[in-house]
Chains A and B, each alone.
Chain A
Amino acid sequence: MENFTPISALLGGLLIGGSATLLLWLNGRIAGISNIASGIFARKPGDLSWRLLFLGGLVAGAGAYYLLFGDMPLPRANFPAWLLGAAGLLVGFGTCMGSGCTSGHGVCGLGRMSLRSLVATAVFLVIGIITTYVVRHVFGVA
């Protein structure tokens, strides 16, 4: 467990929870990234700008962290591009079908004590663990 970074993980989690609280308190919105992003395709009048502003802020916030601390994620050299593309398709489709992702169901839904979110979070955690096992240890892709 030498990769375990409990302090930065906890601090980051507190900030994510704080951001979700701010968005609900000020704007009445759930900070679910999949819904905020996919709602762009709904093309409801007056509904686009806040989504782009939040997502733009998210990218800038991550960028600010990399600028300050230089701890930028590195791309994987040997991970197949087609497999990452397939992962993206499944994430986009699945989060829309299931009405949420780690932030919408995990962070916000659990905070609202939503039973739907509890079920969804348990399902994608367990399926994620099984999938990673199969990809890494059965097919040997990492």
Chain B
Amino acid sequence: MGKYLSMVVAGLIFGFGLALSGMTKASKVLGFLDVTGNWDPSLLCVLGGAVVVTAIAFRFVLRRPAPLLEEKFNLPTAKFIDRPLVIGAVIFGIGWGIGGYCPGPGIALLAAPSWETWVFIPAMLLGAFLHRTVMPARNDD
């Protein structure tokens, strides 16, 4: 029971933080990516703030033999820079630069439903499903 509750709580904090940071607004994200326009560096503060926390806290967490509520850590195993990593990041970057939504803010569109919600989320899920169908052999990180 506790491990399911912790999932909900982690999700709640994530979503609240995302909305507070402004990153659920495509205009804020595109305002950052559009470096030649009226540049808005807010995204750097979001990423910087988050990475400061994870970089410090993950050290302590990963020193433990196991997480508190599960038997083992579920961590990515891939080590090398390979083609799928780079090509995937390029494809994602194009989609992100067009729409202004990465997956977190994309899912968060459900909290402020509009036509963008019903276009972006099904398309994103279809893209993920297509990848699974086209390249079923790849391991998940």
A residues contacting B by CB (< 8 A) are: 1-6, 8-35, 37-39, 41-42, 49-50, 53-66, 69, 71-76, 79, 81, 83-116, 119-121, 123-137, 142
Contacts and interface: CB of A to CB of B under 8 A. Distances in A.
Contacts of B90: 94, 123-124, 127
Nearest to B39: A1
A49 B124 CA distance: 20
A43 to B, nearest CB: 10
Interface string B1-39: 001101111111111111111111111101101111111
Nearest to B81: A119
Instruction: Describe A's contact surface by its main secondary structure.
Output: helix
Contacts of A66: 19, 111-112
A97 B70 contact: no
Contact of A99 (B93, B110, B140): B140
Contacts of B112: 62-63, 66, 72-73
Interface string B52-91: 1111011001101011111011111011110011111111
B128 A92 contact: yes
Contacts of B102: 33-34, 91, 95, 101-103
B24 to A, nearest CB: 6
Contacts of A8: 20-22, 42
A15 B36 contact: no
A39 B22 CA distance: 26
A50 B80 CA distance: 29
Interface of B: 3-4, 6-28, 30-31, 33-43, 45-55, 57-58, 61-62, 64, 66-70, 72-76, 78-81, 84-104, 106-108, 110-112, 114-116, 119-132, 135, 138, 140-141
Contacts of B84: 97-99
Nearest to B141: A99
A69 to B, nearest CB: 8
B8 A53 contact: yes
B22 A135 contact: no
A53 to B, nearest CB: 4
A136 to B, nearest CB: 6
Contacts of B54: 17, 20-21, 107-108, 110-112
A81 B126 CA distance: 16
B113 to A, nearest CB: 9
A98 B22 contact: no
Q: Which 4 A-B pairs have the closest CB atoms?
A: A57-B11, A98-B88, A12-B21, A92-B127
B20 A3 contact: no
A9 B42 contact: yes
Given A13-B17, A34-B128, A103-B103, A115 B81 contact: yes
